[in-house]
Structure 1
Amino acid sequence: MNCSDLAGSQYISDGKSSMVAKKAVDAISGWMPVPEGRLVAHSPGRRGIWHWYEDHARGTGELARSFAEPWGGGELAHRLGRDHDTGKGACAWQDGLIEEATTGRKVRRPAHHAAGAFLFAQAARQHPVLTPFAGVIEGHHTGLSAWSELSVRLKSLMRDPTEVDEAISRVAEVMPEILDKTCPAVPDWLDPRNKTSVEMLVRMTYSAVVDADRLDTAAHFQPGPLPRPDVRMPELWERYETRRQEALAERRRRKEPSWLDKLREDVYQEALETAADEPGVYRLHLPTGAGKTFTGGGFALRHAALHGLRRVIVAVPFISITEQNAAVYRRLLNPEHGPRTVLEHHSAVNFETPDRRASRPSDASVDAHRDQKRARPNRWAKLAAENWDAPFIVTTTVRLIESLFGNSPSATRRLHRLANSVIVLDEIQALPDTLLTPILSGLRELVEHYGVTLVLSSATQPELATLNPWQTGLPQRDIVANPAPLFQQLRRVRYDWRTGSDVTLRSIATEAAAHDQALMVVNGTRDASHVHKIWLGDHAEDPSTLHLSTRMTGCHRRETIQAAKQRLDAGLNTLLVSTSLIEAGVDLDFPRGYRARSLPESEQQAAGRINREGHRPTEDSIMTVFEPTDGLQPQVIYNRCGIAAASRRFGKGLADPDDLDTLRSYYQHRYRLQAGRSSTDPNGATGETIEALREKLDYPETARRMRMIDNEHSVAVVAIRAQLTQNDRQAAQDAIEQLRSGVPTPDAYRTLQDHMASIPQRELETAINTGHAAEIAGDLYEWTGPYHPQRGIEPAV
């Protein structure tokens, strides 16, 4: 049925749009015209071929089915995917697309989400627990809505379906199956009374449908293979083990294996034996220096190979560890030729959400134009958003939690990839206390219903089983059965505690500088910059004096870590001041260390960079924990309940941070101080009120509350350093221009990850107004202001 055929029926077009469509079709030059009785889903693009509606609808449905089959949601995802674009059948929408495609002018078309949502809500009458799944269709472009709002819109449609009748009738002409009102099956494990299970199933189904929609759309505009076939995990595991053995053999040729090498190998072999056990929750509790990166990867790959799991996802809290771990895994897993196996994804950029940045108050017209532009998410950015279509993912904990609890399409489309996977949560102690209840609840859902094996990796294992979501029915198994003796064997430092009014950043920096090689870890970027300036004195630069913080770009941080490593190995004088990003996964070995007072887990992690290889006597390897009167105080940036629990247990005359029994008691006390509190309590809480939002299916508010990085305080900017080679500078600039042109790819994002630094929101606002930052796309900006060759973007005074 064409729009012109509707005259005389109950669905009458205004006639004007039909004339537009006829003229547009007549004007097509070199493109296939739209035959009578056909509907289109997307414009011809560069190939000159229309994307026919039924091809897109059926293709999306089948792809969504394949994504959701692992958890028994295939039929449900298929129905939602098949009907998600039903609203595109409306004459105004069809005419608008044809006019836009043939004239090149932007045409405002009506929203197309209501018709499919209405169809699904009708079918769900037989099984009311399914009604909220209509939100998958309703929000497939804009994000999951709160059920309280969605239910009102659905009730209104049920009372008066006039606005969707036309689209449904026209689509039914080419796809009569949409009128089938039978209720799709749900996974047999779903308990309608368990609201968080329903909430998570909506999320997973939404992810499957959104990813299927975008992949099918991308295949039309950019023809090529659809999702790459999963690499066989047994093959990946064999490659990992072969290359690991080759690396060990090469190391043995260069130097005689030490006692520490043997200990690491024993730990690794025990982990491989444990990998044969059933899927579930595992703890990898190892002291720093025991080889957690290799052991965690080996366990995950072997476990996946033995149990038929599809991928391994390693999530770490700090970008510095992501970069280092990804480099290790790439060497072990990427093939010599062909598609890469390891995908590194830690971009903090959102290309879909309208930006709400402050702008120049003096130019209201420019501001209005920019705000209007940002309110229209770029279509290509949506298609190119990362969907984790790789067998081995290295990402940040922030990205993982964003995927698990976000409500936007770009954040959520990769969520279904978690099913039937091994998730390694590295440095698990870094999860924020204020979000623990929903995080643990969500992870439990993944383990119990989506075939996930979860690995909790840390030298300072928190007592998560004491928190409500994990108190009963979720056993945790140790990958290494008895880790306590390892901590005794690998105790390589002696702690020294320094307090008093005379303890300042300058006094400690001066003491550290008296040593040939020393590491100093402070509580913030301003303190790190201050210490580095003290060390430099009147010198502009000094290769023996290094600085590390997130104000430096990713490649700059890697260069600094590599320079420190080379200098230490060569026995050269080396002073390094760093923020906490050095405390996990950074393979450096200093003889002397200083750590500003923080939480015991952070202090122990910092100590892991001192005498790391055990070549020096423990008594001579000192980690000084100091409380500077002029430095950033731990109560400002760390959990206050954690500080309170730690102050009773650790310090001069008390326990050291690596005392396992005291650490266990500390975590239990810390969680007891917070459990059950309101999230508005200044002392924090473990997120019980967020869990209540999940039970109400309030997806937008849950996403807002679950942000692990508050973008009001920390934002990513791209800085192209003068020290880069011409080729690297050009590649980065090309990626920026590609994003600005509106035709980005995931590769463009990945190229820029190397050049991203973090600064506070208020500093970015000032930089925009002073011309030191220029918009790229979404909430990503290019830094054009000063960039110090050692410290990166300096803190504002």
Structure 2
Amino acid sequence: MVANKEVGELQRQIPVPDGRLVAHSPGRRGVWHWYEDHARGTGELARRFAEPWGGGELAYRLGRDHDTGKGACAWQDGLIEEATTGRKVRRPAHHGAGAFLFAQVARQYPVLTPFAGVIEGHHTGLSAWSELSVRLKGLMRDSGEVDEAISRVAEVMPEILEGTCPAVPGRLDPRNRTSVEMLVRMTYSAVVDADRLDTAAHFRPGPPPRQGAGMPELWARYETRRQEALAERRRRKELSWLDALREDVYQEAIETAAGGPGVYRLHLPTGAGKTFAGGGFALRHAALRGLRRVIVAVPFISITEQNAAVYRSLLDPEHGPRAVLEHHSAVNFEAPDRRAPRSSGASGDTPQDQRRARPNRWAKLAAENWDAPFIVTTTVRLIESLFGNSPSATRRLHRLANSVIVLDEVQALPDNLLTPILSGLRELVEHYGVTLVLSSATQPELAALNPWQTGLPQRDIVAHPEPLFQRLRRVRYDWRTGPEVTLKSIAAEAATHGQALMVVNATKDASHVHKVWLGDRDEDPSTLHLSTRMTGGHRREIIQTAKQRLDAGLDTLLVATSLIEAGVDLDFPRGYRARSLPESEQQAAGRINREGHRPTEDSIMTIFEPTDGLQPQVIYNRCGIAAASRRFGKGLADPDDLDTLRSYYQHRYRLQAGRSSTDPNGATGEAIEALRERLDYPETARRMSMIDNEHSVAIVAIRSQLNQNDRRAAQKAIEQLRSGVPTPETYRSLQDHMASIPQRELETAINAGHAVEIAGALYQWTGPYHPQRGIEPATQ
């Protein structure tokens, strides 16, 4: 053991600890992070994080003992040599000793044994129980590799040898494996976040960040500013019947917020004010029930940006800590080494395993732990937090406890993952103090699926939505089929109306229609295109341009993919939607006669089946379309018929759902639920990925149309990522420059020199970028 020595002249002299155990090298103050300070500090933070669900003692024990392996002489010598010489030193893994200690204690209550995985995976991620149990049994047979570390730590912290079992939540039922699985996840999140925060406080000392406003203050601020905005609108013009209806909806939502915790449905037609009503309900409910935060999850980044802007205007103070955190998911900055095995069997024991599991350095700086009172994020990020197994993804999970979660556009949840999603959300509601709000104009019948079939009542925030749908029906549907119906024929018809929206199922189709409209022209200010192949900033520009032209009464033709169907506030007099699922068709219709200024009979939404168009590229749509084709269409119901929609959802789920929540023949994620019962965290995380790499690879594109300052700032952010020294705002600064292309096209682009790696899984587009259509499809 290195002790009692001073290293010679370096950039600065670092005194070596005299026999004391250290956890981390000296920070800016030149002070070592003593082992016992870090262990107890992490334990106390973890206790505080886990107390809301009764897991405080368990989290404290795991947090206190998580770094026991650092007591080994080889680990201590390695850290000291590295800190005093500046040379990288390979140190032994340090996660086994604490896991072994806890597994010994858990012999008294075997259901606790899997919690040893919290310590074992606090750097590398939660392992599968089948593999963890083998490693623990090996240590039980021969503990030689951990005995030294344990004995050395016990000299300064004798309490680690106490043999008592920590108190656990009384509801913990060994027979309910998914409940055990979720409790391991929540405890892991509390310990990982506590570890990171205590470590960060050592390296970046200073006063703790100022706490933001609590829920009562935020609710009061929200209501005050909303009333001020309404008064200003009244001063500018007389409020319409639609404004009055939205106010009635809002007031009913506020009254319902006084109800108890549980699951609520916000079922409102497009244009009825869901954003304001949902935010008001969530804030007042949180204020009345003593909840800690509100989390709004939406399926598309475009809605995230729009909703976050609305909520910031109502909640962020003029000075002081911001209340609203906007957290996107356009790209995974924690991508593992491409050479890493796909198997869930990596133990994390070898240096090679640790290198593979270690995220990029810059990714740590961008990590979020959702310590904010009001969060606007994507559904992808929420599900990643709920079912991921990496420290970065799971670190945020404990923040969900005692919160209101608003799932906006809930109909967009993928059918093939519904069983584990609903099961996980039920756990949060029943055991972690969560109130869940399901918000949509096309409410799916989730109670028809196994996890929610019994014992989980749903309450309506607006008690009687049917009259609202009748009153707000602002379009007449027209159905078009036959061999003569093509993208080109419908595009030609749309062009005769001057102002028209055309929504198609694929970016390839959108590009084709836009070219048909342009004809021989290179560009036309009245002809617009919108798809995910365009950067976020480019899309916003197009939406703003369309809105301005429509308001001015100018000719405006817009072709878009489904991204326009949620949260985009445009008002066209005429619309066309390629045949899809009824919820998409109804959402598209929400962009037609949105403000109700035109007669319904004159506001036509044409649903067409193009012989040359693509179907929605999601497998479950086959079942959805099968269920829809019997109910919606010419001579049948329209997509906004609520009774038919309920029947459609029930039939759609029956076509897919298994007989039980773990039926391997089910197509709503039952096999994933079985993985959860087996505590297979890596495979669950892999199977729960909501981003299909075939269709959602994020890529940075710096458009030539940007001004010089914006181009320079974007390039600087890219270089910061490449250098490994970004600021926490680096990723955010690139959001406006991100587009999406299929994985297969990315591989082709790399080979052609049109895409170059920035870092991890993020690439920069260096190929052609069309000024109207963005990154063109590789094949037409």
Fold-level match, TM-score > 0.5? Answer: yes
1:730-783 CA distances to partner (integer Å, 9 max, x unpaired)? 332232222222233432222222221111111112222222222222211222
Aligned to 2:423: 441
The more displaced of 88-97 and 37-46 is: 37-46
Which of the residues 230, 235, 243 maps onto 1:261? 243
Aligned to 2:348: none
Q: Which amino acid aligns with 1:435?
A: L
**Structure 2 vs 1, CA of residues 474 and 776 (structure 1 numbering), >3 Å: closer, same or farther?**
same
Q: Which amino acid aligns with 1:772?
A: H
Aligned to 1:362: none
- 1:563 corresponds to 2:531: no
Q: CA deviation at 1:789?
A: 1.7
The more displaced of 110-119 and 629-638 is: 629-638
1:420-479 CA distances to partner (integer Å, 9 max, x unpaired)? 100000111111111111101100000011110000000111111111111111110000
**Structure 2 vs 1, CA of residues 772 and 103 (structure 1 numbering), >3 Å: closer, same or farther?**
farther
Runs of 5+ unmatched residues, structure 1: 4-17, 359-369
Which of the residues 649, 672, 685 maps onto 1:690? 672
- 1:614 corresponds to 2:590: no
- 1:529 corresponds to 2:511: yes
Contact 1:655/1:662 (CA < 8 Å) preserved in 2?
A: yes
- 1:788 corresponds to 2:773: no
- 1:149 corresponds to 2:116: no
1:29-76 CA distances to partner (integer Å, 9 max, x unpaired)? 634412222122222244433222222211111111111111111111
**Structure 2 vs 1, CA of residues 244 and 357 (structure 1 numbering), >3 Å: closer, same or farther?**
farther
Distance 1:635 1:550 in 2: 14
Contact 1:349/1:778 (CA < 8 Å) preserved in 2?
A: no
Aligned to 1:331: 313
Distance 1:681 1:472 in 2: 18
**Structure 2 vs 1, CA of residues 380 and 215 (structure 1 numbering), >3 Å: closer, same or farther?**
farther
Which of the residues 528, 531, 534 maps onto 1:546? 528
Counterparts in 2 of 1:58-73, with a 5 A limit? 58-73=40-55
Q: Which amino acid aligns with 1:432?
A: P
Contact 2:308/2:326 (CA < 8 Å) preserved in 1?
A: yes
Contact 1:639/1:683 (CA < 8 Å) preserved in 2?
A: no
Aligned to 2:401: 419
Contact 1:207/1:414 (CA < 8 Å) preserved in 2?
A: yes
Partner SS for 2:205: coil
- 1:518 corresponds to 2:500: yes
Which of the residues 746, 763, 780 maps onto 2:728? 746
- 1:642 corresponds to 2:624: yes
Aligned to 1:630: 612
Q: Which amino acid aligns with 1:201?
A: L
Distance 1:605 1:431 in 2: 15
**Structure 2 vs 1, CA of residues 224 and 718 (structure 1 numbering), >3 Å: closer, same or farther?**
farther
- 1:39 corresponds to 2:7: no
Distance 1:598 1:300 in 2: 32
Contact 2:529/2:559 (CA < 8 Å) preserved in 1?
A: yes
Aligned to 2:178: 196
Distance 1:201 1:127 in 2: 15
Distance 2:21 2:365 in 1: 22
Aligned to 1:505: 487
Aligned to 2:639: 657
Contact 1:316/1:395 (CA < 8 Å) preserved in 2?
A: yes
**Structure 2 vs 1, CA of residues 699 and 662 (structure 1 numbering), >3 Å: closer, same or farther?**
same
Q: CA deviation at 1:555?
A: 1.5
1:553-590 CA distances to partner (integer Å, 9 max, x unpaired)? 11211111111111111111111111101101111100
1:681-707 CA distances to partner (integer Å, 9 max, x unpaired)? 999711111111101100011111111
- 1:82 corresponds to 2:70: no
Contact 2:74/2:91 (CA < 8 Å) preserved in 1?
A: yes
The more displaced of 190-199 and 47-56 is: 47-56
**Structure 2 vs 1, CA of residues 789 and 613 (structure 1 numbering), >3 Å: closer, same or farther?**
same
- 1:354 corresponds to 2:336: yes
Distance 2:398 2:414 in 1: 24
Which of the residues 455, 474, 498 maps onto 2:437? 455
Q: CA deviation at 1:383?
A: 5.0
Which of the residues 304, 326, 344 maps onto 2:286? 304
- 1:401 corresponds to 2:383: yes
Aligned to 1:577: 559
The more displaced of 44-53 and 85-94 is: 44-53
Aligned to 1:138: 120
Aligned to 1:588: 570
Distance 2:432 2:354 in 1: 40
Partner SS for 1:239: helix
Q: Percent identity?
A: 89
Partner SS for 1:356: coil
1:97-125 CA distances to partner (integer Å, 9 max, x unpaired)? 22222222222111111011111111111
Deviating beyond 4 angstroms after TM superposition, the runs of 4 or more aligned structure 1 residues are 21-29, 225-228, 370-376, 635-638, 677-684
Distance 2:702 2:659 in 1: 45
The more displaced of 74-83 and 29-38 is: 29-38
Distance 1:406 1:259 in 2: 46
**Structure 2 vs 1, CA of residues 111 and 379 (structure 1 numbering), >3 Å: closer, same or farther?**
farther
Q: CA deviation at 1:714?
A: 1.9
Contact 1:548/1:560 (CA < 8 Å) preserved in 2?
A: yes
Contact 2:570/2:591 (CA < 8 Å) preserved in 1?
A: yes
**Structure 2 vs 1, CA of residues 699 and 376 (structure 1 numbering), >3 Å: closer, same or farther?**
closer
Q: Which amino acid aligns with 1:334?
A: D
Contact 1:31/1:44 (CA < 8 Å) preserved in 2?
A: no
Number of matched pairs:
768
Q: Which amino acid aligns with 1:402?
A: E
Cα RMSD after superposing both structures = 2.2
Which of the residues 683, 686, 708 maps onto 1:704? 686
The more displaced of 732-741 and 528-537 is: 732-741
Q: CA deviation at 1:181?
A: 2.0
Aligned to 1:320: 302
Distance 1:157 1:633 in 2: 54
Partner SS for 1:441: helix
Partner SS for 2:529: strand
**Structure 2 vs 1, CA of residues 132 and 446 (structure 1 numbering), >3 Å: closer, same or farther?**
same
Q: CA deviation at 1:342?
A: 0.9
Which of the residues 226, 230, 244 maps onto 2:226? 244
Distance 1:773 1:766 in 2: 9
1:711-737 CA distances to partner (integer Å, 9 max, x unpaired)? 244211112222223333333223222
The more displaced of 552-561 and 589-598 is: 552-561
Partner SS for 1:576: strand
- 1:761 corresponds to 2:743: yes
Distance 1:216 1:494 in 2: 60
Contact 2:664/2:670 (CA < 8 Å) preserved in 1?
A: no
- 1:98 corresponds to 2:80: yes
Distance 2:145 2:180 in 1: 29
- 1:473 corresponds to 2:452: no
Which of the residues 586, 605, 619 maps onto 1:604? 586
Q: CA deviation at 1:158?
A: 0.7
Distance 1:499 1:709 in 2: 32
Q: CA deviation at 1:28?
A: 5.7
**Structure 2 vs 1, CA of residues 93 and 228 (structure 1 numbering), >3 Å: closer, same or farther?**
farther
Runs of 5+ unmatched residues, structure 2: 341-351
**Structure 2 vs 1, CA of residues 660 and 453 (structure 1 numbering), >3 Å: closer, same or farther?**
same
Distance 1:338 1:522 in 2: 45
Which of the residues 142, 153, 164 maps onto 1:182? 164
Q: Which amino acid aligns with 2:45?
A: L
Distance 1:210 1:372 in 2: 16
Aligned to 1:488: 470
Distance 2:735 2:81 in 1: 38
1:214-246 CA distances to partner (integer Å, 9 max, x unpaired)? 111222222344465352111101111111111
